Structure 1
Amino acid sequence: MSLWQWLQASLQRKLSASLVLVLVLSLGLAVFVGLRQVDRFAEEQLRAQQSDLPLWINAAFSTRVFEQDYGALADLALRMVSTGKGAVVYVQVEDLSGRIYASAGAVPDWLQADQGPEADVSSIHHARVPLTLGGMDVGQVFIGSSLEAEEAARSRLLMDSLLVVLVVLPLGLLLLGTVGHRMVRRVAHLAASARAVSAGHYDVSLPARGHDEVGQLAEAFRAMVSSVRTREVELTEAHRQAERLTGLARQEQGRLRSLLSAMNIGVLFETHDHRVEYYNPAFQNIWGIPRDTNLTGMPTQDVLELAAHFESRPDHSSRHILQVLDTHESSERFETELNDGRLITQISYPVLDNDGNSLGRLWIYEDVTHERQTAEQLLYLAEHDALTGLCNRHCFEQRLEKAMASAQRHHHRLALLYFDLDEFKAINDSFGHRAGDAVLVRVASELAPVVRGGDMLARVGGDEFALLTQIDSIEEARSLAARLCGTVAKIPFRFRGTGVRSTASVGIAVYPEHGETTEDLVARADIAMYQAKGLGKNTWSVYDPERDRSEAVAERLSWGDRIRMALEQDLLLLHYQGVYDAASGELVHMEALARIRDPRDLERILMPGQFVPIAEKTGLILALDRRVLELGIAQLADNPDMPPLAVNISGRSFDDPALADAIRELIARHRVDPSRLIIELTETAAVSEIQEAQRFIESMHRLGCKVCLDDFGAGFSSFAYLKYIDVDMLKIDGMFVRDLTRDRENQVFVRAMVDVAKGLGKRTVAEFVEDAATLEMLNTLGVDMAQGYHLHRPGPHLLQKSA
């Protein structure tokens, strides 16, 4: 290690070396100054001597030289040398020609050889004094003075200075070392503490506090250490939190990537400079881009070119696909049809940072082909009868209202032909519902050629049909009714080896003569149909107001008044039928069944089949449903131990936007747990008004009630609508249960309905369970609950769950 490196390794070494250097330089300077002072004093002394020497030399030697008194000169020279105490080394007296008169002492050789004094290196001062007498030069004197006294004084001063250096230097070093060590020790301690802190050890002892610079530095260092310790704790916690968040972010990123990869929706994220940053497999599948094609970093316009051959109209789509103005708004939803028939939707959303700056855009693509087909199918099912394919009651009522409004504007006449099949009930009872369904399907298909292009044929009830046509005269309606009757009468049927023929009774009502509202026109056509039956069936009849006075017609028209009276006089009753667990036989809940005491005979109980159709036609069903709900909720309030209660709601009632609020108000008023109330909706009504049904079901779920879909499977061949109607239970229609043990097709249907229900997380109920064999088979097929005469006959008494 070099001296310089050795000094650089320690502040104390550097400080000590600096102090030694300063001390040595100071002492050296003092010695140098002292020596200079001695030399200056000697010079001044010599100069003083030289200034006086010519005077006394001339006084002493001039006369004797002139007189050439050699003895006196020699004696005088000898005395100067001998009495000079070593100060005068030699004296030599010469005349002007250089002849020596007298000499004494150690005359230098150069003087005798007549050479210059520069050759003399001794410590002698040489002087030549000219001798004059009376202004005339008479000779010269050479005199040599010794400088040993000055040299001795100088040597003594140098020795004294060295002695001082030898004494003062150690003492100074000791003093400086002591003071420096005390100062440097605190700095060294501070440096060691700094090294410990830099290594992460914060519990170090710092130098004692002081008011000097080191103390101030130590105090600042303490504050720094405290701040660093706090920051390290914060940074450690922040790092731990960041690691945790990073881990969570990685997990979320992994989940998100898995989710996006598993989705059927195509996702593409482009950067602000319109390049692909991320895409999922569904995006490639939708656009037919090979899986091994790497789209990352590719301009989005190039991606469009890869998929352009899939578009049925690329010239049109190119203006919309992956094209949007550079805004912070979502794009409009755009649809494009691919050449394979698929329908793809596109929508995009801007991706912004916290400051609102654009990071890019997220594009979402979805293949909506199946959903669009399902929606179209649901729309068709909502307006058509699934069994016959004809328009259903809902569609019929809407089109009748529009046709009447158009006829009123253009002054047209309409004919409404209302008819049903005579003795249809007998066919059902004798040969079963399957035979009845076959009759309805055959009649609908045979009547299709009879109907003109602009006419509407609809199935409005079990065996009731309606035909709406525009006419110029009443004769056209009569002729059409005759063709209907003739066509139905000619249809042959054969069941179980027995030939059967059916006939139709047709009632005709004309707009505007027989009614200016849909309700009046339908009522008049219905009355005319019963008038035709009174004529012997298999015939037609135009509405005749005069024949309304008959007892049968009066009896039919009085039903509306009887329902109103029953509501006003509180004659509505509830009977209850238990719904049981199919496996354990335990009571699960009850169903409320409406009954009416006949206002004309209070002992007579009217069944729903007698008054519900009239109530639906007259609009009284709304008040009837509200009253049933009120009675059912009141029973739940009065009997807190009774099981939950199911209440049936007609399609016209749940179409009422105020019904949900009315149920909420009844539950709040009676303080009933809403989970104890089950609302039953018929499948046909729910699908006919699917949006209203969905809205009503959601409001019931928010309230806390459960919803059951009644008559499940009766009217529709597709269950796709269940994706949009979120009910809790499905009640399998009784037509699939009555002959379950003997009808293999019904078993297949029930098993399929159970599988659909279980797949959607819904429970199933089977109604019309009439015997033990049916119950056992339902349990085998996986049905959750059962209801029917075999388990419990409806009655006015409440049931209790077994303890």
Structure 2
Amino acid sequence: MTWWRSRSLRAKLLLASLLVQVLMLGLLVTNSLRISGQALQERVELYNAELLILFNAALAAPLAERDYATLNEILAEVQQTAGVSYLVLSERNGQRVAAAGWSAEQALPVARTGLDFANARGDVLDQSVVVRLNGMPYGTLAYGLSIEHLSRARTHLLQQSLVIGLAGVALSVLLLSVLAYFLTRHLDRLSAASQRVVEGDFSVRLPQEAGDEVGQLTRAFNRMSEAVQERIAALSASEARFHAIANYTYAWESWFDEQGRLLWVNPSVVNVTGYTPAECMVMADFPTCLAEPGDRLALEHALQDALQGRGERFEFRVRHRNGLLVWVAMYSQIIFGPRQDKMGVRTSMIDITQRRAAEQALQVALVDLKVADESRRHHLASLEEERARLLALLGAMNLGILFVTADNQVKYYNPTFLRIWMISDEINLVGKSANEVLAYSGNQLARPDHFSRHLLEVLETHEMSSSFEIALSDGRVVTQLSYPVRDADARFIGRLWIYEDVTRERQTAEQLIYLAERDALTGLFNRRRFEDELARFLKDSDRHRRQGALLFFDLDEFKYINDTFGHRAGDSVLIRVAGEVGALTRKNEVFSRLGGDEFGVLMPDASEEDAIHLAERIVRAVSQIPLRLEGQNLRLTTSLGIAHYPKDAGNAEELVAHADAAMYQAKEAG
């Protein structure tokens, strides 16, 4: 006190002012650091809370599905853009499944329960959170929240404050009385700006009017505000990404508080209900008010169960804005905050109208199938009755019936078939090859080679065969017809063979036909039959647009033989010529005696080369007939004419006339 009393008032004022200034500067810097620190602490906590929601929303579904590739992509993107130093995701058993910014072999630091900067490991706050889906934990996410910029800003602010304080103390000795007013004004403005920062206005900047300590403090404040604004912008961008993830989902997502009040709904609600999120937010009792009246009570109970954490899949009907009914499946999940405090329930509504329609269509199809099955059984019973009647009919028929499959296996035969072929009824032919059937026959074929050729021709095609006569060694004649059997899709499934013993009928018919159409001397077709065949030939050629030929020939020495050796010798010559030439003609060619020594050969579907070739063979065969009459060796020659259809004629008369004229031209030419 003696020393204080001995000092001058100026010194006392200066010392008192200096003391007050020091105290004021200390309090001001401390208050600024406290306010800015509190603001930063609150922003970090808010940002961390938003990150927890983002982590749970983005990682729960892929983790539950074990989509590790997607988890690594999400962690890498968050680590690069969200201000997180590292992220490590582990399953419930502790196995790491995804990581970003952290080595897989390096042990994780101990996670802190709070966000106090004092607990920071350097510039990183180590945190961890349980990832849940539908209330069930699926893993743990350990991450490091980077506070490097915040720590740097705080350190820089502290350093600047200390420099300003020390400089203020030094300069206050000389300039305190002069600068008191200015210092007070600047400090007031700085305090007001700090308050605006506390209130959330991070865009505030102080004009830098001087380069003194107050100016330095102003610049430090501006830098601090700019750093805080950048962090808040990063938090806003992260929040925007969260909304992008939440808003653009396939499902209609909603968030209800613990009292069941709607807090948020994403735009997908428009696709299901036709109402916008803004309209849904003002609806009372949402979403029960949109449900069908018959489903509302059950929906209320389902929502209450969801709020209690007992929610299960629930399906109900929603009346769309356009009046249509939409089937919806609701899934729910409790939402927890960063401190595991219950924040409400999240529901996901998925449109299942198409699936329900498919289920109903399936039920209708099952009913139709049962009806069809009953109809099939009734139809099978009717078919069995028809089959019994058909078997009785086939058994009573006088025709031999043989059914074979597509691979030529016997499927059915009737008793008449066994009787015609003289096969014992004790032998079961079903399942045997049709080629083996005749081996069981008690009779033999008169012309096996002829029958084999016909059989091969029939089997080579799937068309109906013409009637074929089979001569048996016992003299009987059996006709054979074959019809292809096809299913409803026109696929070939076998063949029907029909046999009839026509021995008596054939004998009588052959006698009558022979007498009416055959030449009595040579056995060849007579002129009447030739004219019928010629008319048929022209008709078939016109229908199928085919060509053909007519050959006329006579014997040059026949009149000499008749006049010299008699008609008996002439008849024997005609018989010899008919036999030789008949062996040269094909099955479809008609060889006829037209009268006297004049013969004709009708060649259907024959080219000019075919006709010339046959003509040459006939001339050569006739000339090679050995003929000796009454000790004389004679050599026969013939004159032959050819007419081509339709090249040389348009009808039967013109064709015959052209062939006859060609024959006489050949005779005159020698």
Same fold (TM over 0.5): no
Could you tell me the TM-score, scaled by structure 1's length? Answer: 0.23
Could you tell me the TM-score, scaled by structure 2's length? Answer: 0.27
